[in-house]
Structure 1
Amino acid sequence: MGTDEDGWGADRPRPGPGSPILEALLENARSRQHLGRRLDGAGERLGTDFLGDLVRHGPVLESLRREPLDRREIEERLDVSRATSHRLTQWLDDQGLVEKVEGRFQLTGRGEAVADEVLRFEANVGTVHRLGPLLDAICEDHQEFVVEPFVDATVTVAAPDAPYRPVERFVALVDDSGTFRGFNTTHMAPLVLGAFHQRLFDGTDSEVIYLPSIVEKLFETYPERAAEAVERGHLTLRTRDDLPYGLALFDDRVGIGGYDERTGQMQVFVDTDSPIAREWAERVYASVRADSEPIDADRFESLGG
């Protein structure tokens, strides 16, 4: 699926505005690919040595972000020597990031902003590392994926001795939820998992967006049960010719699945109860749904056979 310069599908309607926090995250994600050129144009590139120094001073910046500290408290908080604490605070003072007031070091306004950015950098890099299997699986479309809301997400990865671990996590969340909405490039769970599909047909109010071929396969495997669920209004099926990855919205959590392109097997499932992640997922789902088509009654009858 092609994406425009803002990261949204070129053939996809843009959703309405979200909360200020989400809008800021999305704008940051959209501008990342252009940020290097903007910095070059402004002549604002910082040396890698200076950036490395900022990261190395992250622990003392974080400590001072909480409260002003004297030298002895810095030594105890960071478990460093007097010489090291002197070196740390001297460098921060030289950069205009700290000032000494009544014997205590406190961050300047500039220092507070830098401390926040260093902590954000650490959190985002750590999140990217944890989400690596997912990002590898959805790399062609990850301009639409916002990392920050998933900082404390549960990441479930398939292993040689536990290949169905991500699917099991997904099914457990479906079992705990009264409603379910999502889209996927393949079946939400392998068709052989009858218990899951029984839940989908009878136990959970569901709306699923699939590729047309996946809907056909679903009705081939469960012709009567699928048709009955649709006729009762318990299951709503829609189709779209192209989908970016797997997205699931439960009552209290949202999740994203990454799949092996060759086998179609879920390789990783990431889920969270973060409110911002929820808002992001609702926004993405709404935009995909708006570009999907419902399957009419005649189509259900032909698929049900």
Structure 2
Amino acid sequence: MHSSDGGSGGGDGSPPEPSVLDAILENARNRRRLGRQLSTAGERIKTDDLVDVVRHGPLLEALLDEPLDRRGIEDRLGVSKATSHRFTRWLDERGLGERTDRRFRLTGLGEVVAEEVLRFEANVRTARRLTPLLDAICDDHDEFVVEPFADATVTVAESEDPYRPVERFVELVRGSETFRGFNTTHMAPLVFGEFHRHVFDETETEIIYRPEIAEKLFETYPERAREAIECGHLRLRTRGELPYGLAIFDDRVGIGGYDETTGLMEVFVDTDAPIARQWAERVYASVRADSVSLDAEA
């Protein structure tokens, strides 16, 4: 599903320049091979050394912002004089920092390590927040990357309010003039009249469903669905297999995870991050290219 296009190339036929999204997707493709690659490359870094780097993450982050003297390190991190001496000695022993004009700054190696520690923390934090979604789409993790959804809104169904994710989804549909998406089941339960009113009458919509789901939609709303297609509000396409639910609105993109037994949306994650939109557009284009239009048949 991942695509390698989308960089910005020149008009002279030169290959497109790789984007940040390209780098994220390439890393996602390679992540499961990293262990073998590291083992082949030579001696692995000891686990204790990696833990030590993460433990000193606040120090690395502070110096990534700006060089600091020992007093600055003590004030910034709230540590004692003895601890600041230990920190700076640790930086020097590992080649991560150096002292210049009484202040400590990161070396080139130190800057890269500091950035990777922050990236690791951000991805772990994001994965934790997205746990309900990851659990719901566990068979399709290879199709999904967490980085673009670091600041996403996560809406989870609760026992006293099982429709919270659907209501969040419908709220975004209501506020958008256009909507594109695909789903393993109905975007919203067929009894949710407000969603289907927007789809049939108000929103420029393109949806990719599995064939049996599209058939059920026509059985439930035979006249309204055909009228929406005839007047151009609705374009329907089908595809045999779909990984999860994807929604692209005017200003946001979202992903839905569903209970396989009940078919209800368990979690909906949405964001306005530009990189998430790039990812969603690529995924949608890939799925759409392998789908069939139902407009003519309808």
TM-score (structure 1 length as normaliser): 0.92
What is the CA–CA distance in structure 2 between the aligned matches of 1:65 and 1:149, rounded to whole Å? Answer: 23
Q: Is the 8 A contact 1:15 1:286 kept in 2?
A: no
What is the CA–CA distance in structure 2 between the aligned matches of 1:172 and 1:31, rounded to whole Å? Answer: 37
Q: Percent identity?
A: 70
Cα-to-partner distance string for 1:111-141 (whole Å, 9 max, x where unaligned) = 0000000000000010011111111111111
Q: Is the 8 A contact 1:191 1:221 kept in 2?
A: yes
Aligned counterparts, 1:168-207, within 5 A: 168-207=167-206
Q: Is the 8 A contact 2:257 2:265 kept in 1?
A: yes
Aligned residue number for residue 132 of structure 1: 131
Aligned residue number for residue 16 of structure 1: 5
Aligned residue number for residue 303 of structure 1: none
1:248 aligns with 2:238: no
Aligned residue number for residue 257 of structure 2: 258
Aligned residue pair count: 288
Gaps of 5+ in 1: 1-7, 301-305
What is the CA–CA distance in structure 2 between the aligned matches of 1:86 and 1:167, rounded to whole Å? Answer: 54
Note the C-alpha offset of 1:203: 1.1
Q: Is the 8 A contact 1:15 1:283 kept in 2?
A: no
Q: Is the 8 A contact 2:156 2:268 kept in 1?
A: yes
Q: Is the 8 A contact 1:209 1:289 kept in 2?
A: yes
Cα-to-partner distance string for 1:6-50 (whole Å, 9 max, x where unaligned) = xx38xxxx5634451111111000000111000010114211111
What is the CA–CA distance in structure 1 between the aligned matches of 2:167 and 2:295, rounded to whole Å? Answer: 32
What is the CA–CA distance in structure 2 between the aligned matches of 1:296 and 1:175, rounded to whole Å? Answer: 23
What is the CA–CA distance in structure 2 between the aligned matches of 1:154 and 1:92, rounded to whole Å? Answer: 38
Amino acid at match of 2:142: Q
Aligned residue number for residue 67 of structure 1: 66
Runs of 4+ in 1 over 6 A off after TM superposition: none
Aligned residue number for residue 90 of structure 2: 91
Gaps of 5+ in 2: 8-17
What is the CA–CA distance in structure 2 between the aligned matches of 1:221 and 1:255, rounded to whole Å? Answer: 26
Aligned residue number for residue 285 of structure 2: 286
| Cα separation, partners in 2 of 1:15 and 1:43, compared to 1, 3 Å | closer
Aligned counterparts, 1:14-163, within 5 A: 16-18=5-7, 20-163=19-162
Note the C-alpha offset of 1:284: 0.3
TM-score (structure 2 length as normaliser): 0.94
What is the CA–CA distance in structure 2 between the aligned matches of 1:126 and 1:187, rounded to whole Å? Answer: 30
Q: Is the 8 A contact 1:97 1:107 kept in 2?
A: yes
What is the CA–CA distance in structure 1 between the aligned matches of 2:137 and 2:57, rounded to whole Å? Answer: 31
Q: Is the 8 A contact 1:180 1:251 kept in 2?
A: yes
Amino acid at match of 2:257: G
